Structure 1
């Protein structure tokens, strides 16, 4: 007798043969000037969470966390994409909507009101990178000021750059992903703070009480439990692939067996030998940065995202696979939705001590043959919602709710989190994609040089900080100049030091941390692939 798992797999196989046989018929012109796209007419039915986890059709999960962009800043254009909205109404009824608002106004400390502005075409005051502007504020304190007083308030850490927004033509990969798969208009960073605390929540449902990008050098890595420890203990295969340095190294030597260069990811995709759960790092280091962290060019990130996603969809794993794209935090860019307060191990009535205060919304897409096309999930999520899916699928957690034995959970945060797999269908999958080979990807612009200036909100940037050299001109052995304030000194000028993992990994490298835990510091031969390509 066929069981439900075999039934779901049979449905997947039928979907593959049927869908690919009619792929060309499903391609129609897209709005937004980004070429042709595939808009499915077949919608996955039911909910994957209604089946026992052991019978779920998802066997391979790939998680990719990029850097420092807010929802309205990157996906706000969806709120006025008429084709997208019309398809949503047709597929999901009159209640279909998306809470996306790129047009906002904020007041600076001098009382001047400024409107958000489009960065399309790179012709705005901020260009594509924001050269000459400051990296927007995204700390524990500046985030709270942005929440309470606005994104240009005194103490927000922001200048005019934080009010720029992208459009579909600027982000062709994101545009096609959001239109083809499922996105979320209430997916928030886990804490209203910077990169590392949010990444700690993705890995462990807490940040160890750290509010900042503290590096665990002396203790040779964070020592508390992670989802990776739990999965490995349950004999679930896991691996972390990196173009340069692995961000999971901040959890110490016990993570080293997981590490592999990004070259291996492409090989494993092709061979059909990916683990059950994959974590992907983007290229973080400044010479080839493609993680979307300001002041990098999103064009480099678009190339990296396209290539790693295409490899997964061309692998045997795609039929029963799930690709999760998200961002660690909002990066100081404007977003109109107030962040919620969530249950937390270190929740507090004192706002300055409250780790339950989530951050602003971040762009997130759930891509799978079982994803509802062009769908918007309105429930509240954060990074621990990804953990909740993994805990349900592989570790015996209930699909939803915090009741019963909670030994599967890492903290109260993931125990109470909504499961990000809620919108995944259980039957009628559609594996067909848009054409990943015809994305109109523009050339990557020259890297910013020097320390970014921080003009008063609304003022023009200091263009003397701009550079005409390309990122490929940077010396790979450029030393850190101890006399500067954080730039990388080199023969060709000093690019702005990356924030987030790029800066943290460089610091750890220079302090000998990788050698102390026994991790390799050899970069992948592919590390510079994405930041130096011309336009397509």
Structure 2
């Protein structure tokens, strides 16, 4: 190594050490958590949220997982097709693009069908008759593809995701935190709640209302570019996780890809697109509309995804980071799954190539099931219960190698881990913290929710990185999902 390179590396390591000191969590408040079991070796948590895939559609044939039941190599499950009177079994889908299915609250209820998990094709049949695609997305086709939601992929289509599952941790009972579509899932990711509020700016007027978050019921003026918008809308006045992080001097950032996101209407399988950026409130970027973020002067923490790579290189990675893709790289149907996998691989490779690898936990999941078949009924069948099962992966130098976690989890477990690590177990108190709201408790306190610490072995030396091919980084191609 040259003297210049040596000096540069030393400067980077000094900068990294200083940054890590700033990211240390404060002393535990009275009554807060618990013994240090090694969790504080994790100085950085990165949450990567992709789009619209069920567990069975990606890992249904992964060895050892709670996947699609087989007999003599053939799936035993059979879902009725009301259009033909036949039943349809899951099948291997080698295509890089998928149709997907309706994935709003009503579609979730019908797919689950009281726990029978047999409504997937019926929902697609209805979408085909009522118009499951917008006219300006030519790659979206529902009619004639009603059975496509029964397809599943294997390592042939998802080599890197399956490698991460083999080398690190696969979660086979990860459920969407709310039985609905993308927006409430992203609201839960940062605040543990999704609600409608009767009065702008008044959190005590908010109440959970899952039907409000059907795509057809959401106020159109929130997402119509150029349309008049009421002052302060969209409006999320309740307290989110960044309030506690900011109050306890824990650094955070929400990285959003400049490009487009889908804007679903009529419970469509795929959606027309609207612009997306760090400064544009949206379905995948809700934080600019949280009152706490604005009042705390934290809007600058919402950044373009290209800044993530710069922050990693410069030794400025925050303690907590969320990453939201653009439409092309999101895996949202009809997007190419290979493009999403390359995007995720680029993020993971960047961390693995940096000094951050030995102190980072990467949580990768998908926001909802996307209308695709899954055979496991959610644990709660009540109106506000968990949504359908989605894939989940944990990638870290301390992750247990080749471990399949069968605990019941939701994305709430990410918040729980962040609070246990950086806040010494302090939980958001909706009654007193920030802007009080009527929640009786927070979702990460649910007794059935598993603990992500079980997926780590902090007694082991840090494991070496697993650099995989195909990773991409900025500049990303903007544009429509499905374009080459």
Report the TM-score range of the alignment, normalised by the length of the smaller protein: 0.5 to 0.7
Contact in 1 for aligned 2:78/2:89 (Cα 8 Å): yes
**Paired position in structure 2 for 1:14:** none
Q: Which of the residues 329, 332, 351 maps onto 1:312?
A: 351
What is the CA–CA distance in structure 1 between the aligned matches of 2:50 and 2:245, rounded to whole Å?
23
What is the CA–CA distance in structure 1 between the aligned matches of 2:39 and 2:121, rounded to whole Å?
50
Offset of residue 251 of structure 1: 2.9
What is the CA–CA distance in structure 2 between the aligned matches of 1:55 and 1:165, rounded to whole Å?
35
What is the CA–CA distance in structure 1 between the aligned matches of 2:34 and 2:459, rounded to whole Å?
11
Give matches, 1:386-535, under 5 Å.
386-397=414-425, 411-416=441-446, 417-437=449-469, 526-528=475-477
What is the CA–CA distance in structure 2 between the aligned matches of 1:108 and 1:533, rounded to whole Å?
28
What is the CA–CA distance in structure 2 between the aligned matches of 1:436 and 1:525, rounded to whole Å?
17
Task: State yes or no: 1:294 paired with 2:294.
Answer: no
**Paired position in structure 1 for 2:105:** 140
Q: 1:382 to 1:162 in 2, by over 3 A?
A: same
Give the ranges of 4+ consecutive aligned residues of structure 1 lying more than 6 Å apart after TM superposition.
Answer: 405-410, 529-535
Contact in 2 for aligned 1:189/1:382 (Cα 8 Å): yes
Could you tell me the TM-score, scaled by structure 2's length? 0.68
**Paired position in structure 2 for 1:241:** 255
How many residue pairs align between the two structures?
A: 361
**Paired position in structure 1 for 2:412:** 384
Q: 1:263 to 1:533 in 2, by over 3 A?
A: farther
Could you tell me the TM-score, scaled by structure 1's length? 0.61
Q: 1:411 to 1:205 in 2, by over 3 A?
A: farther
What is the CA–CA distance in structure 2 between the aligned matches of 1:363 and 1:410, rounded to whole Å?
29
**Paired position in structure 2 for 1:69:** 53
Task: State yes or no: 1:58 paired with 2:42.
Answer: yes
Contact in 1 for aligned 2:39/2:458 (Cα 8 Å): no
What is the CA–CA distance in structure 2 between the aligned matches of 1:129 and 1:437, rounded to whole Å?
21
Unaligned runs of 5+ in 2: 1-32, 70-74, 129-145, 196-207, 223-228, 259-276, 279-284
Unaligned runs of 5+ in 1: 1-48, 80-96, 123-127, 343-350, 442-523
Give matches, 1:180-259, under 5 Å.
180-208=167-195, 209-211=208-210, 212=213, 213=215, 214=218, 218=230, 219-220=232-233, 221-244=235-258, 245-246=277-278, 247=285, 248-251=287-290, 254=294, 255-259=298-302
Q: 1:435 to 1:412 in 2, by over 3 A?
A: closer
**Paired position in structure 1 for 2:65:** 98
User: Secondary structure at the residue paired with 1:393?
Assistant: helix
Q: Which of the residues 314, 322, 337 maps onto 2:376?
A: 337
Q: 1:533 to 1:292 in 2, by over 3 A?
A: closer
User: Secondary structure at the residue paired with 2:329?
Assistant: coil
Q: 1:258 to 1:435 in 2, by over 3 A?
A: closer
Contact in 2 for aligned 1:64/1:324 (Cα 8 Å): yes
What is the CA–CA distance in structure 1 between the aligned matches of 2:302 and 2:433, rounded to whole Å?
27
Task: State yes or no: 1:262 paired with 2:246.
Answer: no
Q: 1:338 to 1:406 in 2, by over 3 A?
A: farther
Offset of residue 420 of structure 1: 2.2
Q: 1:185 to 1:53 in 2, by over 3 A?
A: same
